[in-house]
Amino acid sequence: MSEYTEEMHAKCLLLMLESDNPCKQSNCPVYFYRLVDELPPCDYGDLGGSNEICKAFVGLLPDDACPCYRFGGPEAIKRTWLALEAKGYLE
């Protein structure tokens, strides 16, 4: 199983945020994994740890719901943007 890292997640989040509806279920950041050329090829269903990384990225616990459901779309987007900025992914 491939390891999904925070750096991979950040690259996918940036693509997700460019989409028309970032909190649409099919726009989950892992979906965008296949669109990032510099990431190693991997099967969408084989990205171990992706849920935990997604939640931790915005300060949620593993048992919490997805950020879009936990906070609601606008707040999830805001928290994601702030986390990307704080972690240095927007530079």
For residue 24, what is the DSSP state? S
Q: Give the model's pLDDT for residue 34.
A: 67
High-pLDDT (> 90) share of the chain, %: 24
- The domain limits of the chain are 2-86
36 or 42: whose pLDDT is higher? 36
C-alpha distances out from residue 15 to 19, 35, 38, 63, Å: 7, 8, 13, 25
- Tokens at 88, concatenated: 């240095």
Q: Count H helices, E strands: the chain? A: 4, 2
Q: For residue range 46-71, what is the model confidence (pLDDT) as tens digits?
A: 566 677 888 899 999 988 888 888 89
Report how far apart the first and last C-alpha atoms of the chain are (Å, whole number): 30
Q: Give the model's pLDDT for residue 46.
A: 56
